[in-house]
Amino acid sequence: MLLCVVFCFLCALVGSSPHSLNKDSLVISEGSFQHPSKLMKRALRECEDCACGERNEEGRVVGGIGSSVNAFPWLARVIYQKSFGCAASLINDRYVVTAAHCMKGFMWYMFRVTFGEHDRCDRTQIAATRYVVKVIAHNFTLDVLSNDIALLRLSSPVEYSHAVRPVCLPTRKVPENLYTDTMATVAGWGAVNETGKWSCTLLEAELPVLSNEACRNTKYNATKIKDVMMCAGYPETAHKDACTGDSGGPLVAENEEHMYDLIGIVSWGYGCARKGYPGVYTRVTRYLDWIKDNTADACYCKYCKLMESMWKIVLVIVISVYIVNCEEGVQNGTETTTESTTEAAATEPMPDDGEFYSRKCNCRCGERNEASRIVGGVETAVNEFPWVARLSYHNKFYCGGSLINDRYVLTAAHCVKTFMWFMVRVTLGEHNRCNNTHRPVTRYIIQVVSKNFTFANFNDDIAVLKMNSVVPITDTVKPVCLPTNDHKTYEGVHAIAAGWGTMGEGKNHSCYLREVELPVLSNKACKSGKYTANMISETMLCAGYMSEGKKDTCQGDSGGPLSAERSDKRHEQLGVVSWGIGCGRVGYPGVYTRVTKYLDWIRTNTKSGCFCSA
């Protein structure tokens, strides 16, 4: 973090000796001073159609280094004059929270805040921008570094979108040791090392939260670590940390509702990733009342309305599952039970292998609809890929999938890792997802089965979703074939990926289903590009144009299928869209989960569905 470097850097930007903030809690507004106690106290307003702390997981994170585009939609950049100095977090429609040392000694009217960015060096992308009209700093001094927190009031309310949403504040004051050993995430555009340049693209790192007692037992002087501070990092190995330019940015942790709480603010540290010196953060739970008292004129997103709608949906799903299972039980003459989610293995009894192979349905998988194909290979023909599914979370599209039998959809594990299963909805038979007059086949999810997936390395990025009822097989809704040979590598095969994802980094999702034809690369060739060799495992598959880029999957395509045509003109799925650095960048082909490595696992966990003949 190199606090002194940051401070000196910002001082140099002013060009004159900075004026000091006084040591009291302070409000700076349009050139006048006002104490927070005089701020009008009003009940926090509730907002419609927003939910705080929803991290966009559909993107393509690599080993905890490169963040996905808009993965942290609350993250903002604080710019002084024309130079980026610090980061901040959007907490409601009118305020961001940052570190007080980022504001100390500077003219409030020279600051502006930008939102929805990923590559800050990309001049073609116009970020949402607001000017700062008020700075509310706590009792912060550079000699002690306590109370390193400040609120910035924006010139106008921020409009929420896919790329811009607030982070949650913890719901209550918590004991000092509550977050101890919690894995939290810090993100920012700061320097990649002590002497390195600041990053153009947003970076993230996952860090364990230390107890203050453990932090005081590191190389820091124990008196430096106050109760209002929090430490996070790896003091013994020091391989991850925040650095210069990350100051003011968020340290977030996933809460019980699978949303993200702001638990810390990047404050200070000795160097960057030095052994014995973990990063030090402002402990947000110590300032909840202060934050809310000073932002009472803003519109907060709240859990209550979201949770109320969630439970309504759960009730509907439970009732529908009960009805469906009762009907199946009557038809089959067997007892049934309501199903629940699992991330390890399916809970219901499964037929043995002999029963699986004997269950064949009157349908054919992998039949591509060739009629009225669009010239140019960009937009697909209507229902050309009848197995492509769209996943929505709380009525918002976020990932893709593929129908593999009449009851199960295959997708990426990272599409369901941090989400509540009962909020996920599957639609099939779509082409124009923005056409509200068309009613596609819709099912809710009643069970999620995923492998041992982690965001650290993206291995085993595969999951199967069980739908609440059987899907009728029609001309517009048909399953894709699964491979029959688990040793096939597909090297050199031209495969097709399809989805409604963005048509470029930072762009909007497509309304129409689109396709892209990509050559499958050997893993050796993939490792020879700009990826490091340890990023590409044997359970992954690369496809794309290494030296040209330009064609690729992108945000929103995650979980969707990569399929190839067989000699019988039917399509089999060989990959699941998983991750990559950027979209269509030279040297960075798309990375897919290799389906042939999971054939037995897929069949074992989807036996209750009716497979078409291969």
- In angstroms, the CA 467 to CA 446 distance is 6
Q: Which residues of 316-355 are buried (b: 16+ CB within 10 A; e: fewer)?
A: ebbeebeebbeeeeeeeeeebeebebeeeebeeebeeeee
- In angstroms, the CA 74 to CA 91 distance is 7
Q: Copy the structure tokens of residue 253.
A: 């942790």
Annotated active-site residue 486? The verdict is no
CA distances from 507 to 69, 554, 583 (A): 10, 10, 11
Determine which one of 93, 101, 267, 414 is catalytic: 101
Q: Is 552 helix (H, G, I), strand (E, B) or coil?
A: coil
CA distance from start to end of the chain? 57
The CA-CA-CA angle for residues 605, 560, 575, to 5°, reads 70
Annotated active-site residue 510? The verdict is no
Q: Copy the structure tokens of residue 117.
A: 């960015």
Contact present, 209 and 179 (Cβ < 8 Å): yes
- In angstroms, the CA 431 to CA 414 distance is 24
Residues in a beta bridge with 151: 97, 136
* Number of Cβ atoms within 10 Å of the Cβ of 601: 15
Determine which one of 67, 68, 199, 247 is catalytic: 247
Which amino acid, 403? Answer: L
Determine which one of 67, 118, 148, 162 is catalytic: 148
Secondary structure letter of residue 305 according to DSSP: H
Contact present, 411 and 450 (Cβ < 8 Å): no
Which amino acid, 326? Answer: C
Which amino acid, 600? Answer: D
Q: HEC string of 249-304? A: CEEEEECCCCCEEEEEEEEECCCCCECCECEEEEEHHHHHHHHHHCCCCCEECCHH
Q: Of 66, 65, 283, 335, which is closest to residue 169 (Cα–Cα)?
A: 283
- In angstroms, the CA 356 to CA 606 distance is 9
Task: State how far Cα 503 lies from the chain centre.
Answer: 18
Helix (H) or strand (E) segment spanning residue 148: none
Helix (H) or strand (E) segment spanning residue 523: helix 523-527
Residue-wise DSSP of 9-49: HHHHHHSSPPPPP-SS-EEEETTEE--GGGS---PPEE-SS
For the chain, the C-alpha Rg in angstroms (whole number) is 26
Instruction: Give me the sign of the Cα torsion angle 83, 87, 92, 95.
Output: negative
Name, in order, each residue with C-beta under 8 angstroms of 143's C-beta and a sequence gap of 6 or more. Answer: none
Annotated active-site residue 261? The verdict is no
Name, in order, each residue with C-beta under 8 angstroms of 216's C-beta and a sequence gap of 6 or more. Answer: 222, 225
Residues in a beta bridge with 579: 591
- In angstroms, the CA 490 to CA 471 distance is 30
Contact present, 207 and 279 (Cβ < 8 Å): yes
Positions marked active-site: 101, 148, 247
